[in-house]
Amino acid sequence: MTSALYPTYARADIAFSRGDGAWLIAENGDRYLDFASGVAVLSLGHAHPHLVETLAEAAQKPWHVSNLYRIPQAERLAERLVAATFADVVFFTNSGAEAVEAAIKTARKYHAANGQPERFRLITFEGAFHGRTLATIAAGGNPKYIEGFGPPVEGFDQVPFADLAAVEAAVTDETAGVLLEPVQGEGGLRVFPPEFLRQLRRLCDERGLLLVLDEVQCGVGRTGRFLAIEHAGVAPDIVALAKGLGGGFPIGACLATQEAAKGMTLGTHGSTFGGNPLAASVGGAVLDVVLSEGFLPRVASLGGLLRQRLAELQDRHGAIIETVRGEGLMFGLKTRVPNGDFAAAARAEGLLTVLAGDNVVRLLPPLIIDETHIAEAVARLERACARLAAPAKQMGAA
């Protein structure tokens, strides 16, 4: 396959021409159950009527005016995010990495505004993923993403996953805060224990540190709560969102308390496209659905059902599936076979999944699925396991 695109992605040779709810239809007519959601982006699935209608309406109005003028759609979206969360103020971006960048800058600037500019370092955790910009690769700490790109951005100190003693030991006079994904996505679906998060909040309070969350993947309802941190009953200072917020339209957001955002004064940050009318309109339409009565409890209960079905699958196929972990509609299967082989077998059975670190296969269905999609996905996973158990006989039979 020749292409004028950078060869930075390992793409499957499939192009999709149609999407309908949790289903994707390839150009050749093959139907796939989409438990990848464009990597946790399609919170409402494909071609959701409310999103389609909202976008069509927004397209009749000015697409873009820039942040030199008021953008009522963005003002409204910010108000709704504030009403739904711990936050007082919002900065809009176009992607997850930019939302995390805004979160890092907000945390650093907070201490600068307090007369302590030397407090710029953030403590991060092994297995983290925060994006692919220069600061966010440094924050993530994965050498694979850092090497060859020049001196890494200074100021990130990584400690072992969910290790409070290690966090305490890493705090210095230069520490600005702690940055983490309440549920690590790319790192392999590792869930921070709620008790650890409560202890971490206490430590942050004692040491004057900001608790900064990257909920780019686990936020906006994916775990059955609007923010994943709500499971721990902990109030953060700054949270980065993206992915599910736009339901497929590129938008990210950095949410903060008034106090944490106090350094972000006139002229300190900006984005040409951030909070653009099209993106903000679609984001608002996503919230219409995700924040509607009963939606999130339904995600939580479907998540419970999926967890149970996956645990049963693991019981039947312990030689292939080692562990099942996750929360809400965000699960990882740590496999005993190479995760790429498992995902390929699932795809051959018409089920789309996403790989993650630690040899995990992620299941990230749209939040609008029902019990029938779960039954269908598990049946396909079952057949994928059968293929892997008898590779010589069955692989390539599709």
Question: How far, CA to CA in Å, does 95 sit from each of 56, 100, 246?
Answer: 22, 9, 10
Q: By CB under 6 A, which span of 5-13, 90-98, 111-119, 306-314 interacts with ligand PMP?
A: 90-98
* Position 101 contacts ligand PMP (CB under 6 A): no
Exactly one of 39, 47, 305, 348 binds ligand PMP (CB under 6 A); that residue is 39
Establish whether 261 is an annotated binding residue.
Answer: no
97 is in an annotated binding site: yes
By CB under 6 A, residue 181 contacts ligand PMP: yes
Q: Based on CB atoms, which residue is closest to ligand PMP, 255 or 374? A: 255
Q: Is 217 in the site for ligand PMP (CB under 6 A)?
A: yes
Q: Is 95 one of the binding residues for ligand PMP (CB under 6 A)?
A: yes
Max Cα–Cα distance, the chain, nearest Å: 68
CB of 103 to ligand PMP, least distance (A): 10
d(CA 24, CA 279): 23
Whether residue 131 contacts residue 95, with contact meaning beta carbons closer than 8 Å, is answered with yes
Binding to ligand PMP, residues 126-145 (CB under 6 A)? 129-131
Residue 186 touches ligand PMP, criterion: CB under 6 A: yes
- For residue 96, say whether it is annotated as part of any ligand binding site: yes
| Number of chain residues interacting with ligand PMP (CB under 6 A) | 15
Both tokens assigned to 38 = 């464009």
Q: Which is nearer to ligand PMP, 96 or 277 (CB)?
A: 96
Whether 153 and 134 have beta carbons less than 8 Å apart is answered as yes
Residue (216 or 346) nearer to ligand PMP, CB:
216
119 is in an annotated binding site: no
Q: Is 85 in the site for ligand PMP (CB under 6 A)?
A: no
- What are the two backbone dihedrals, phi and then psi, of residue 242, each rounded to the nearest 5 degrees? -170, -125
> Nearest approach, Cβ of 253 to ligand PMP (angstroms)?
12
* Helices and strands in the chain, H and E counts: 13, 17
Token pair for residue 161? 């996953």
Distance between CA atoms of residues 95 and 103, nearest Å? 13
Stretch that binds ligand PMP, among 45-53, 205-213, 214-222, 258-266 (CB under 6 A): 214-222
Binding site annotation covers 272?
yes
Q: How far apart are the first and last CA of the chain?
A: 22
Burial status of residue 269 (CB atoms within 10 A of its CB: 0-12, 13-18, 19 or more): middle
Do residues 364 and 35 lie in contact, with contact meaning Cβ atoms separated by under 8 Å?
yes
196 is in an annotated binding site: no
Q: Is 155 annotated as a binding residue?
A: no
Q: Cα–Cα distance between 382 and 124 in angstroms, integer?
A: 37
Options 19, 185, 275, 328; binder of ligand PMP; rule CB under 6 A: 185
Q: Is residue 162 within 8 Å of residue 193, measured between CB atoms?
A: yes
Part of the chain binding ligand PMP (CB under 6 A), chosen from 21-29, 61-69, 111-119, 209-217: 209-217
Binding status of residue 96 toward ligand PMP by CB under 6 A: yes
Instruction: Please tell me whether residue 242 binds ligand PMP under the rule CB under 6 A.
Output: yes
Give the interface segment with ligand PMP, choosing from 24-32, 93-101, 162-170, 348-356 (CB under 6 A): 93-101
Is there a binding annotation on residue 106? no
In the complex with ligand PMP, which residue's Cβ is closer, 159 or 320? 159
- Residue environment code for 323-353, b if the CB has 16+ CB neighbours within 10 A, otherwise e: bbbbbbbbbbbbbebebebbbbbbbbbbbbb
SS3 94: coil
3-state secondary structure of 381: helix
Q: Is 246 annotated as a binding residue?
A: no
Q: Which residues are annotated as a binding site for pyridoxal 5'-phosphate?
A: 96-97, 129, 214-217, 272
- Chain contacts with ligand PMP (rule: CB under 6 A): 39, 95-97, 100, 129-131, 181, 185-186, 214, 216-217, 242
Q: Which residues are annotated as a binding site?
A: 96-97, 129, 132, 214-217, 271-272
